Amino acid sequence: METLSVVAPAAFAGVAWGILGGALPGISPSITMALLLPFTYTLDSAVAIVLLASTYVGAEYGGSIPAILIRTPGTNAAAATVVDGYAMKLQGRAGEALGISLYSGFIGGLIGLLVLVLLAERLSGVALAFTPSAYFSLGVLGLSVIAALSRESLLKALIAGVLGLMIASIGTDPVTGTSRFTFDSPELLSGIPPILVMVGVYALAELFEQSGERGWEQATERPRIQFPSPALWRRIAVPQIIGSVIGTFEGLVPGGGGTVSSFLAYNEARRWSRHKDEFGHGSPEGVAAPEAANNTVACTALIPMLSLGIPSSNSAAVLLGGFLMHGLVPGPMLFVQHRDVVESLFVGLLAANVAMVIVGYLIMGPCIWLVGRPKPYLMAFIYALVVSGVYAIESSLFQVGVALGFGVVGFGMRYFRVPVLPLILGVVLGFMVESNYRRALVLADGDLMTFVREPLSLGLLVVALLFVLGSVFRQARERWRLAEAAR
């Protein structure tokens, strides 16, 4: 395990980068992480993972800064903070709102980390029982998450997932070594690295999308962060607990994520509050609950990713990309083969939550300055950062071109309202699904029943089936409700 002296600077740097990125409207935590991903290539694996995870932590707080100051959430998860945060700002209490956001994020982050440490290893405890059949079924379980992510259209989510699997099949065949879809290009022999897909569909597609939009509003004041008084501490304790509990469950559920948990936490905090009438008019509880929730999710969303290798959110998918880039495969064997990296991550997340309070306090000025820069300059700098970073991965201009191509694909997916995360799931799980499917069949002399004969494999397939059926049922129920409302 890397010592705290090595991990802490990475945590501080990641949090600072995350806050700055999160503070820019439209730049989500996953995009902030994707921008950083190529930089981590030359770093020690544990330091790189801590840097990326800390960026996620920082971005969740950073998103609340423009939410409170200019009524524009920096991240989707900060949308619930706008309601009471901006109302507090109008009352001249912006510093107090930012202090509550920072402190609640810290509490939520610590609770999330505690849950992460307690649950992740237990889930991965069955590592040694995994055979090729079970790994295949685990991959299928991961792909079944696509159904849960299909909030708008299951059909489009499935299409995105299949496209991801097709991208993953480019390169050398995992069993026979035959070249597939390489078109005699040596650069494609090792396949398309997931990082190029992620940088393209998250960072470059966002850049393309933002290029057609107007600049965001400028902050007109520079408030000083005020941490809550003891009386306020007591008042916001319950909403913080509510936010943390909801954040824990939403982090574990595929497709839950910070946005859903923030709104649920806001709603529940209002329901349990003694000051319901203050909600919507500058309630400190209305800031505390969503901020605790989204920072809890920043830790608990890592549980399925670390223990099963299944990313349940965009940010977890980018972090998974970081693991893969360093030759680390999240999933059952991670705790056995790279325990040191996992422990460094836990220590790093603890440092990141402490860093969030310190850096969050100090970085307010630069954040407001950054949000105030003309948008063309910021976009140009982000573009330059992406092309430089992608080249740094393997010193390949071909890869810069591939990333640009995926930027266009990502832009097209947004235009046609096709979700991006299923594509990423297909890309990162494609190799695992195909190689283990074929290995399992070789071991079982081509007998397909091997996947249901092994109890662990069968159990995972049943859970996958339940996921899909549950999602189909949920969508049918929503459609029925809409039809009822239309009548």
Closest CA to 35 of 194, 202, 193: 202
380 binds another protein (CB under 8 A): yes
Joined together, the tokens standing for residue 406 give: 């995926």
- Residue 476 main-chain phi, psi, to 5 deg: -65, -40
211 binds another protein (CB under 8 A): yes
388 binds another protein (CB under 8 A): yes
SS3 172: strand
**Binding range to another protein, per CB under 8 A, among 23-31, 177-185, 227-235, 302-310:** 177-185
381 binds another protein (CB under 8 A): yes
| Given 5, 128, 212, 485, the residue binding another protein (CB under 8 A) | 212
Q: CB of 459: closest distance to another protein in angstroms?
A: 24
Q: CB of 325: closest distance to another protein in angstroms?
A: 15
Joined together, the tokens standing for residue 99 give: 């202090």
- Residue 124's H or E segment, with its range, is none
**Binding range to another protein, per CB under 8 A, among 20-28, 46-54, 440-448, 458-466:** 440-448
Q: CB of 479: closest distance to another protein in angstroms?
A: 13
Q: Which is nearer to another protein, 109 or 200 (CB)?
A: 200
SS3 184: coil
Residue spans of alpha helices (H) in 91-211: 94-123, 132-149, 154-168, 194-198, 205-211
206 binds another protein (CB under 8 A): no
Torsion (CA) 101, 103, 104, 107 in degrees, nearest 10: 150
Q: CB of 176: closest distance to another protein in angstroms?
A: 4
Size of the site for another protein (CB under 8 A): 54
| Binding residues among 103-162 for another protein as defined by CB under 8 A | 155-156, 158-159, 162
Q: Which is nearer to another protein, 166 or 456 (CB)?
A: 166
189 binds another protein (CB under 8 A): no
391 binds another protein (CB under 8 A): yes
CB atoms within 10 A of CB 131: 16
Residue spans of alpha helices (H) in 273-338: 284-300, 302-308, 314-325, 334-337
| Given 272, 369, 415, 480, the residue binding another protein (CB under 8 A) | 415
10 binds another protein (CB under 8 A): no
3-state SS of 189-200 is: CCCCCHHHHHHH
Task: Determine the Cα–Cα distance for residues 73 and 294; give it in Å rounded to an integer.
Answer: 13
| Binding residues among 316-375 for another protein as defined by CB under 8 A | 374-375
Q: Residues for the chain: how many in total?
A: 487
Task: Determine the Cα–Cα distance for residues 79 and 65; give it in Å rounded to an integer.
Answer: 11
Q: Which residue has the tokens 């209305």?
A: 286
Q: CB of 363: closest distance to another protein in angstroms?
A: 19
| Given 71, 151, 281, 438, the residue binding another protein (CB under 8 A) | 438
208 binds another protein (CB under 8 A): yes
Q: Are 126 and 456 in contact (CB under 8 A)?
A: yes
385 binds another protein (CB under 8 A): yes
199 binds another protein (CB under 8 A): no
71 binds another protein (CB under 8 A): no
Task: Determine the Cα–Cα distance for residues 70 and 263; give it in Å rounded to an integer.
Answer: 19
Q: Are 302 and 309 in contact (CB under 8 A)?
A: no
Q: Are 69 and 223 in contact (CB under 8 A)?
A: yes
Task: Determine the Cα–Cα distance for residues 99 and 85; give it in Å rounded to an integer.
Answer: 11
Q: Which is nearer to another protein, 119 or 158 (CB)?
A: 158
72 to 51, 83, 351: CA distances (angstroms): 26, 10, 29
Q: Are 58 and 401 in contact (CB under 8 A)?
A: no
Q: CB of 73: closest distance to another protein in angstroms?
A: 23
| Given 130, 323, 437, 451, the residue binding another protein (CB under 8 A) | 437
Q: CB of 202: closest distance to another protein in angstroms?
A: 16
Chain residues binding another protein by CB under 8 A are 39, 42, 155-156, 158-159, 162-163, 165-166, 169, 173, 175-178, 180-181, 207-208, 211-212, 374-377, 379-381, 383-385, 387-388, 391-392, 395, 397, 400-401, 404, 407-408, 411, 415-418, 434, 437-438, 441-442, 446
